[in-house]
Amino acid sequence: LIMKDNSLKLVSSEQALKELGLNEHQLRFTCRVQLHDPHSDPDTLRRIYTHLKSVLKGYAIQHLPDGTVMVESIVIKVSSSPEEANTKVILLSWSYQDEDLGSFLSTLLKKGLPSGL
């Protein structure tokens, strides 16, 4: 709700920032989660996708062809180093606006993936 030219109007937060002449500051987090997992990177990502699908009901979860899983606007990628093929690094990236879900996912993935996926 903003007041401009002596009248009140209801606008989106983005619009309000613009009308007030303020810049938006994007706060982002990228969290590295290490996972002991002997599967290949794409396989680990697929298992993450399956796991999240079963835990997070009612969320938009996508497995994209470019090798990422997205939960709402949170991006998840998997990588591993050739020296330690059994250790995967999951990269989770989210913005402050998705703070609750991002924090939840990083805590969830830290616990590992259930066997049998």
Partner 1 sequence: MEEPPVGQAPKPLLSGAVPLEAFLALLQKNGIMEVKVEETAEGHILHLQAEDTLIQLEEDGTHIVCDNNEPLRTTLRDLVLRFLQKI
Alpha-carbon distance 102 to 22, whole Å?
26
**Contact with partner 1 (CB under 8 A) among 68, 75, 103, 117:** 103
Q: For residues 44-73, which are near partner 1 according to CB under 8 A? A: 55-56, 58-59
- 76 is an interface residue for partner 1 by CB under 8 A: no
Select 1 or 65, whichever has its Cβ closest to partner 1. 1
Select 42 or 114, whichever has its Cβ closest to partner 1. 114
Please say whether the beta carbons of 35 and 113 come within 8 A.
yes
* 103 Cβ neighbours under 8 A, 6+ residues apart: none
Any idea what the Cα angle at residue 45 is, between residues 31 and 53, rounded to 5°? 95
> Which residues contribute to the site for partner 1 (CB under 8 A)?
13-14, 16-17, 22-34, 55-56, 58-59, 96-101, 103-104, 106-108, 110
